[in-house]
Amino acid sequence: MTDMVYPLPAEPKVSFFQTLRFRLIVSVALVHAILMGAFVWLAVTKQSENIRTDLINRAHALTSLMAVASTNALLSENLGSLAEITGRVKRQPDVVYGAIVDIRGDVLASTDPAQVGHHIDLARRSRRSHVLDLRDTVRAAGQPVGTVLLGMSTRALDAHIAETRDQGVAFILLAIVAGSLVAGALSYVITRNLHTLMGAARDIGGGHLAARVNIRARDEVGLLGGAFNAMAESLEATSDQARREHEKRTDAERLACVGELSASIAHEIRNPLSAVINSVKLLGHPSLTAADRTQAIGILNTETQRLQRILNDFLDFSRIRETRPVADDICALIDEVAHLIGEDTQARAVRVHVQSADRPCRTLHDPDQMRQVIWNLILNSVQAMPDGGDVYCRLVREGALVRVSIADTGCGIPDHLLERIVRPFVTGRKQGTGLGLSIVQRILMQHGTRLEVMSHVGAGTEVSFTLEAA
C-alpha cells in the first residue's frame, strides 16, 4: 500500500499588500517617516527659531543703535548727521528701510530720500510681507523725542528655513527609501524560511508525508522549522502505523467477508440443493406413484431455477463493471423503467408516478448502470406492495445536485434490517436473494453517492440518492 496522495487545493492568491513582507516594509517606512519627521520638524523649528531670533536680535540691536546714535542729531535736527546714520544703516545686510522720525511724525532722515520731510502716521503704517518691522523710541531725559523705524528683510531667513525644510523632507524620503530597502531585505530573509515551511506544509497536506524543511536559522523560524520536522516525523510514523492497521483490518474484513459470503452462499444453496437431492432420491424409489413423481419433478424444476437465479444475481454482483458517466436525462430513464414495470404490475394495481419539475433533467450517470439501479429500487417497492399501491419517483433539484427518491406505500422494513439492508444476502422477503440493494449501493458508490433509506413498518419506505446535475 502506498501513501495516499490528495489533490492539493488551489494555492490561495495573496496580494502583495497582504503579505508580511509588505507589512514589514510599511512598518519600517512608517517608523522612519514618523521618527525622521519628528526629528526634522524639531530641527527645522529649532533652526528657524534660532535664525529668527538672531535676525530679531540683530534688528533690535541695530534699532537701538540707531536710536542712540540719532538722539543728538534728532534733537538738533541735524539732518546731515541723521542722513549719515540712515545711510550707514542702509548698508547693513537685510535692511529694507530705515527712517528717523521726530516727535511730530515728520521724517527727518530715511533710507528712501523721497520720504524725508513727509509726515507719516506711525499708528497706521502698512506692513509689508517678508519684512520684519521694528521701531524704537528715541528718548532724551526719559522723554520721547522721536522714533526710529527699521525694516529687515526676512527673505533670506524664509529662504533658509525653506531650504532647511526641503532638506528635512529629502532626509525623510531618503530614510523611508533606505528603511524600506533594509526592511525588504530583512523581510525576505525572514519570510524566505516561512515560504519554505509553507511549501512543505502544502506537500504534507497533499499526502507527501516525507516532506521536510532545512532551515538553519537559530531564531524562532528555525525553532518552528524544527518543530515542523518533528511534527512531520510524528505524522509520518502515525500514518504508517494507521496504514498498517488499516491493512490488517482490511485483510481481516476481507477474510471475514469471504467467510460470510461463503456461508451465505452455502446457506442459500444448501436448501434448494437438499430439495434437489431428496427429489432425485425420491424419483429413484420403485414404489413412487405417478403423482409423487410429478410433484418431485416440479420440486426439482423450482429449486434448480432458484439455484440458477441465486448464481445469476451473485454473478451480477461480482461483475459490476467500471462506471462511465455521461450527461443524460434521468427523468426519461425513470419514465422508461416505470413504464416497463407498470406493464408487469398493472394486474396487481400498483401505480408508478414520476414527478419532476425539470424535463428533461440531465445528470451525470452511467445510463445502463442507473437503469439497473432504478429498476431494482422500483421493483423492490412493487414487491413491498403485494396488494397494490402507489410508487412515487421524484426528482428534486438541490443546488448542483439532483435528488432522486423512490417512495412506496408498502409494508416497510423492520428496524433490525434497516441498517443492514444494503449488505449482500440481507433481505426481508422469502423469495429475495438479498443482492438487489447491494448491487444498487455498489453502483451508487461508483457514482460518488450512496443510498439513503427511510422506512416505517406498515407505512412505507423511501429510498433516495443524489446525482451531479449536468
Partner 1 sequence: MRRAAWRLAVAVILLWAGWGGARAAEARYYRFGVLPLQSPTMLAKMFLPLTDALARGLDHPVEFVTAPSFASFMRRVRRGEYDIIYLNPLLYTRARKAGYRVIVKVAGEPFTGIVVVRKDSRIRHLGGKGLPKGLKIGFPDPNAYAATVMVRQYMRSLGLSVKRDFKVRYFGSQDSALMAVYYGLVDMAGTWFPSLRSMPAKVRRDLRVVAETPPQPQMPIAVRSDMPPRVAARLRHLLTHLTDSAQGRRVLDHLGFKQGFVAATNREYDGVKP
Pairing of strands 389-398, 350-356: parallel
Beta bridge partners of 119: 106
Nearer to partner 1, 33 or 75 (CB): 75
If you search the block for the grid coordinates 439532483, which residue do you land on? 402
User: At a CB cut-off of 8 Å and minimum separation 6, what does 78 contact?
Assistant: 72
Nearer to partner 1, 81 or 278 (CB): 81
Say how many Å lie between the first and final Cα of the chain, rounded.
35
Nearest approach, Cβ of 104 to partner 1 (angstroms)? 5
> Judged by CB under 8 A, does residue 65 bind partner 1?
no
Nearest approach, Cβ of 117 to partner 1 (angstroms)? 13
* Sign of the dihedral defined by the CA atoms of residues 269, 272, 274, 277, in that order: negative
Residues that bind partner 1 (rule: CB under 8 A) add up to a total of 17
Considering only 13, 104, 127, 416, the residue that binds partner 1 (CB under 8 A) is 104
Integer-rounded Cα radius of gyration of the chain: 53
Q: Which range in 26-34, 36-44, 77-85, 303-311 contacts partner 1 by CB under 8 A?
A: 77-85
> Following CA atoms 444, 450, 456, 459 in sequence, which dihedral angle do they give, to the nearest 10 degrees?
-40
Nearer to partner 1, 80 or 93 (CB): 80
> Judged by CB under 8 A, does residue 76 bind partner 1?
yes
Q: Which range in 78-86, 109-117, 221-229, 399-407 contacts partner 1 by CB under 8 A?
A: 78-86
> Judged by CB under 8 A, does residue 80 bind partner 1?
yes
**Residue 30: its H or E element:** helix 20-75
Nearer to partner 1, 37 or 105 (CB): 105
> Judged by CB under 8 A, does residue 109 bind partner 1?
no
User: In this structure, what C-alpha cell is assigned to residue 404?
Assistant: 432522486
Q: Which range in 28-36, 66-74, 93-101, 374-382 contacts partner 1 by CB under 8 A?
A: 66-74
The DSSP code for 18 is: G
In the region spanning residues 331 to 360, those forming contacts with partner 1, defined by CB under 8 A, are: none
Considering only 62, 67, 73, 109, the residue that binds partner 1 (CB under 8 A) is 73
Nearer to partner 1, 75 or 194 (CB): 75
> Judged by CB under 8 A, does residue 81 bind partner 1?
yes
Nearest approach, Cβ of 74 to partner 1 (angstroms)? 8
In the region spanning residues 135 to 154, those forming contacts with partner 1, defined by CB under 8 A, are: 140-141, 143, 145
> Following CA atoms 72, 74, 80, 85 in sequence, which dihedral angle do they give, to the nearest 10 degrees?
80
Closest CA to 167 of 47, 52, 53, 51: 47
> Judged by CB under 8 A, does residue 120 bind partner 1?
no
Considering only 64, 71, 153, 304, the residue that binds partner 1 (CB under 8 A) is 71
> Judged by CB under 8 A, does residue 75 bind partner 1?
yes
Question: Amino acid letter at 174?
Answer: L
Q: Contact at 8 Å (CB) between 441 and 422?
A: yes
Nearest approach, Cβ of 116 to partner 1 (angstroms)? 15
Nearest approach, Cβ of 73 to partner 1 (angstroms)? 8
Pairing of strands 362-365, 143-153: unpaired
Nearer to partner 1, 93 or 142 (CB): 142
Nearest approach, Cβ of 49 to partner 1 (angstroms)? 37
Nearest approach, Cβ of 90 to partner 1 (angstroms)? 22
Considering only 103, 173, 210, 237, the residue that binds partner 1 (CB under 8 A) is 103
User: In this structure, what C-alpha cell is assigned to residue 41?
Assistant: 520638524
User: In this structure, what C-alpha cell is assigned to residue 216?
Assistant: 538553519
Considering only 59, 97, 102, 412, the residue that binds partner 1 (CB under 8 A) is 102
> Following CA atoms 17, 20, 26, 27 in sequence, which dihedral angle do they give, to the nearest 10 degrees?
150
Cα gap 57→413, rounded to integer Å = 110
Cα gap 283→296, rounded to integer Å = 7
Q: Which range in 30-38, 69-77, 267-275, 390-398 contacts partner 1 by CB under 8 A?
A: 69-77
Question: Amino acid letter at 377?
Answer: L
Cα gap 5→359, rounded to integer Å = 40
Longest dimension (CA), the chain: 180
Nearer to partner 1, 76 or 355 (CB): 76
Considering only 54, 77, 240, 292, the residue that binds partner 1 (CB under 8 A) is 77
Cα gap 69→62, rounded to integer Å = 10
Pairing of strands 95-102, 460-468: unpaired
Q: Which range in 101-109, 204-212, 363-371, 408-416 contacts partner 1 by CB under 8 A?
A: 101-109
The residue ranges that bind partner 1 (CB under 8 A) are: 71-78, 80-81, 102-104, 140-141, 143, 145
